[in-house]
Amino acid sequence: SQQGEEDPQALSIQEGENATMNCSYKTSINNLQWYRQNSGRGLVHLILIRSNEREKHSGRLRVTLDTSKKSSSLLITASRAADTASYFCATVLKHSGGYQKVTFGTGTKLQVIP
């Protein structure tokens, strides 16, 4: 299995601080994606970084990818209470059937205290 391991498992910060979550995985990938899940419900896609990219930004999000170390990080800057959620990295391999096979990491539970 190439399920990603994320750390920390849980993170509690004050509003306005930055939050950093890390993801490590085991095998080669086509891309890596980060998702957010509120209150155990459906997931929302945050950002996708391809295997030939090293860094990507989207608003307050910054994602890095180091394929040599098989690791990625998600940085949320200037956190808000609304960022409180679980965050999952997901490694993606293209399946021989033409679709993407997505494998989720263990997740980081982020709490932002107002």
Partner 1 sequence: SAVISQKPSRDICQRGTSLTIQCQVDSQVTMMFWYRQQPGQSLTLIATANQGSEATYESGFVIDKFPISRPNLTFSTLTVSNMSPEDSSIYLCSVEDHRTVRLAGGEGEQFFGPGTRLTVL
Three-state DSSP class for residue 45? strand
Site for partner 1 in 27-46 (CB under 8 A): 30-31, 33, 35, 40-45
In the structure encoding, which two tokens stand for residue 107, read together? 């997740």
Q: Is 94 in the site for partner 1 (CB under 8 A)?
A: yes
The reply to whether 50 sits near partner 1 by the rule CB under 8 A is yes
Task: Give the residue, chosen from 3, 20, 67, 71, that forms a contact with partner 1 under the rule CB under 8 A.
Answer: 3
Task: Give whichever of 78 and 102 is closer to partner 1, judged by the CB atom.
Answer: 102
Question: Reduced to 3 states, what is the DSSP secondary structure of residue 56?
Answer: strand
Does 26 bind partner 1 (CB under 8 A)? Our answer is: no
Question: Counting contacts by CB under 8 A, is residue 106 touching partner 1?
Answer: yes
Number of Cα atoms under 13 Å in the Cβ half of residue 74:
33
Distance CA 63, CA 55 (A): 6
